[in-house]
Amino acid sequence: MEYKAYTSFDPDFLWGAATASFQVEGAVEEDGKGLSVIDVMPKNPAITDFSVAVDHYHHIEEDVALMAELGLKVYRFSIAWTRIFPNGNGEVNQAGVDFYNRLIDALIKHQIEPLVTIYHFDYPQSLVEQYGGWISRESIEDYRAYAEFLFKTYGDRVKYWLTINEQDHVVRIPSRLGLTGEDHYEQLRLGYQANHHMCVATALTIKTFHELGMEGKIGPAVSYSMVHPASSHPDDILASKDAMLIKHNYLMDLHCYGEYSYSFQRYLEERNFTPAIEEGDLELMKQYPPTMLGVNYYFSEAVRAFPATEEFPIGYQKKSLLPEAEAGVFEVVKNENLAATDWGWEIDPVGLRLTLRELYDRYKLPMIITENGIGAYDKLEEGDMIRDDYRISYLREHIKQVKLAINDGVPMLGYCAWSFMDLVSGRNGMEKRYGFVYINREDFDFKDMRRIKKDSFHWYQKVIASNGEDL
């Protein structure tokens, strides 16, 4: 819909940027930190690991000063669970507590609102070894107790909390659950059980948040994007709706309504994926829903119908990060209407507006963009120049769509670009860069780790200063 007149961003709109602990901090075994599932994953010899990352652990003052120079109103970061509880539970590591106190205090000093992700993929390896991690119901209380410790320790300064980042990815990427082996079916079955436990843990954590009288808002950071039908054929439209349910809406229905929809129950039952559910689990979720949503958006997908056959029976999947196809449901296809990044992610700014409208129509919660950005082969040129016009173009067009979503009536708290600085990509190492700040290192050459401002840094600085008017 077009309008005769358009409202602007609210004066209190939170302009920000984001990172994740394991992708930036480094120092994986320093000052008492325990090992996470990320730390023990098999190393890919073609790319760097996360042991040094971009050494944010030893550069927090410099990095926060750059955030202040950029003009950030909010900084989204995650706390490494095993810096606080090296074994996931039990003894507290004071050095880790002190590190995040220094970071939060530095942000507050520069009037930057901390937006804390409680858990962002780096689950404690010790809990996997103790009882299987998220597969076990024991995980629920350990997560809740960890979150309660964070609330009591940092809640006097932190008003915005994200419970679990991209839970759907945790479910579908076995290494993030601490699972090994090649049995994809069994890993998915266990993943849906882990998913249920994470939903219960989230609800209990939100209950604790309220019982402690915490101010502010809390909710998950969800990877959510529109799945377009590949054509106007009714079968493709049905496939897109089914894909939205299986990829996205089943999880949000649990968090916000405490329910497995009838169609999703059928989906689980026919594949023997139905998790064990204890009495009171769903009621707890209904009683303690999120008070905000974090939205991670990079691209949309297009799908067509994929009828089941004898060759491809119901349950057959072609998989990547998330399923590319599932017989009897959908098949992801190229969207010929969209350009794509160097890594094949289709660039769809309007899809962000559609995503925000879809989420608000279904769940009626205020939202903040917690990740949105483009990974690219940034080149450091003579004179410390990084000319990343492609990043400026990507972010500009997506911010325009956030403003249009606000005009559609979607309550938006803020926008966090991914990422503040270059970080180690989970599948592409240092080659795939996202940041406003270039980190002078390569996969296997640490160089000097200098922080260098890209052209996009100066552009975003103007966007923030003008409250989104100067794009």
Q: Residue 192 burial (CB < 10 Å; 0-12/13-18/19+)?
A: middle
Please state the separation of Cα 266 from the chain's center in Å: 28
Report the candidate in 203, 366, 370 with the shortest Cα–Cα distance to residue 280: 203
Indicate if 371 belongs to the active site: yes
CA–CA gap between residue 260 and residue 266 (Å, rounded): 10
Positive or negative: CA dihedral 359, 361, 364, 366: positive
Which structure tokens are listed for 22? Answer: 């394991």
Residue of 25, 113, 326, 371 marked catalytic = 371
Contact, 294 vs 368, CB < 8 A? Answer: yes
CA–CA gap between residue 201 and residue 273 (Å, rounded): 20
Cα Rg of the chain, angstroms = 21
CA–CA gap between residue 138 and residue 156 (Å, rounded): 29
Phi, psi of 422 (to 5 degrees): -55, 145
Please state the separation of Cα 262 from the chain's center in Å: 27
Report the candidate in 155, 18, 133, 152 with the shortest Cα–Cα distance to residue 82: 133
Report the candidate in 185, 141, 143, 188 with the shortest Cα–Cα distance to residue 168: 188
Which structure tokens are listed for 162? Answer: 């994200």
Q: 407-429 b/e with 16+ CB inside 10 Å = b?
A: beebebbbbbbbbbbbbbbbebb
Q: 297-308 b/e with 16+ CB inside 10 Å = b?
A: bbbbbbbbbbee
What's the residue count for the chain? 471
Return the active site residues.
371
